[in-house]
Amino acid sequence: MVVSFLVISAAASFWFSVDGAQAQASRVVVCSATAMFLLGFWDDLEPLGAKNKLAGQILIALLAWCGGIHIEAFKNPFSGMIYPLGSFGCVLTVFWLIALPNLINLVDGMDGLAGGIVLMLMGLLSYAGWAGSAVFATLCAAGMVGALIGFLRYNFPPARIFMGDGGAYFLGFLVAELSIINSHKGTIVAALLAPLFVLALPIADASLAILRRGVKGLPVFRPDRRHIHHRLLEMGYTPRRVVLTFYFVSIVFLAFGLVVFLSEGRWTPVLFGVGCLVFIVSALSFSFSREWFSVGRVLGNSIEMRETIHYALTLSRWLEMEAGRCDSLENLWSDFKFLAMKLNFSRVKLSLPDGQKEWQREKNGQFPPAQPRHFRREFGENNCMALELEIEAEDRLSLTLCDITCEVWQKVAARWETINQAPATFKVRAHSLDLHRNRKGNRPYVPLPQDWAPGIGRSIS
């Protein structure tokens, strides 16, 4: 897709004459979009961390703003009055250029999902650019439509190629820049509002997810499995059916976006109300209403929930550090059992290619046990690793604790493999333990006993 974009940009500059301002804008778009791709591709090869990625995105967005990609004014679609934004225009431009790449990256949670939505956006932008006489924006958007069709041929479920963070950041940043060019620096506000209607479903899902994570005390950008496409999969939808459902809803909002653009923004309030009604009906139809609008219930017990989640995250960080001190998965499993005991799990079972390990809490007989909830998560290449959890709780907190526990085991297993250059199996013992022991300030690892203490738990191998 990036190569297609560069070829299209070079052909547009060679065969079509543009004025000085458009030529300057085209050079800025090519350089900044390529830089955003390289940032995401770097993260694909070696994770950079959320803070480093955000700093890089802000830097690239600021350079694009310095190059002339501006939102300078706001035009009232009803009165026709133009209001200059002044210095706030820089803040709004940088926010716009950062928000869309991260939103597209968030949508890229299933094969074919992000590519299909961006395909609709590029079709809308090509029409908007043609109507606004923006030659470069029109040609780039139309060319990317063809590139995305070719990409989706191999990215539609079951996918054989993936866009990764590099592709998602590149496409999102390109959509953000082309929409600013089509809006003539904000004086045609409908060119900015129209893409937002196409992205209405991802925006609503991301906003509610960030709000729920913030209330629970989780990092707001922490990935989870509570997005709409995950919920549809849990309801029994196939991956193809989930993607096609998203396409259908996005096409409806694409029509809204076209109406907003053609009406120059005057129909925005009406279509916004219709869009909210569509969301409510969809939430009721797919049984999402309790999940989408459960923020009020979460606020009621947020203090206790936040303390428990912070405790779970602290234990997770400790276990990640211990992954560099263990010479085998057997010892790492001992530490993981400690984490499971502290988080009040009643049973955990780990399955690896060479065997299984299981731990369960002993029953004390003082109180009747609650109805246990079972969870299973498979990960690794070809799902070669599986983790089964059982917790005797009915509240929503148990879902979050299970997500944190599965996520931390996946991280520590991957970190152990990377540090020791060995496969994650019970029988493999690393050869680098002496290096860990000889590090300054490091104590030798001492595995925990098989039985924690009388009446606490027992191990089953």
**Residues of the chain with pLDDT > 70: what percent?**
78
> What pLDDT score does 108 carry?
83
Averaged pLDDT for residues 2-26: 79
> What pLDDT score does 95 carry?
92
> What pLDDT score does 46 carry?
85
> What pLDDT score does 301 carry?
55
pLDDT of 160 higher than 70: yes
Tens-place pLDDT, residues 276-335: 887 777 767 665 555 555 555 555 556 667 788 888 888 888 888 888 777 777 888 888
Least confident of 98-102, 237-241, 388-392, 419-423: 419-423
Averaged pLDDT for residues 436-444: 41
> What pLDDT score does 274 carry?
87
pLDDT of 34 higher than 70: yes
> What pLDDT score does 357 carry?
85
Band the pLDDT of 434: cuts 50, 70, 90.
Answer: very low
> What pLDDT score does 459 carry?
41
> What pLDDT score does 201 carry?
82
Nearest to 350 by CA among 336, 371, 331: 336
> What pLDDT score does 453 carry?
40
> What pLDDT score does 70 carry?
83
> What pLDDT score does 188 carry?
65
Pair type for strands 82-84 and 73-75: antiparallel
Averaged pLDDT for residues 64-92: 80
Highest-confidence segment of 36-45, 47-56, 334-343, 371-380: 36-45
The more confident residue out of 281 and 270 is: 270
pLDDT of 82 higher than 80: no
> What pLDDT score does 187 carry?
58
The more confident residue out of 451 and 132 is: 132
Pair type for strands 345-352 and 82-84: unpaired
Least confident of 366-380, 405-419, 442-456: 442-456
Q: What is the average pLDDT value for the chain, to the nearest integer? A: 78
> What pLDDT score does 439 carry?
41
> What pLDDT score does 57 carry?
94
> What pLDDT score does 396 carry?
66
pLDDT of 92 higher than 70: yes
The more confident residue out of 345 and 133 is: 345
> What pLDDT score does 454 carry?
37
> What pLDDT score does 19 carry?
64
pLDDT of 107 higher than 80: yes
> What pLDDT score does 37 carry?
95
pLDDT of 36 higher than 90: yes
> What pLDDT score does 457 carry?
42
Highest-confidence segment of 83-87, 128-132, 164-168, 181-185: 164-168
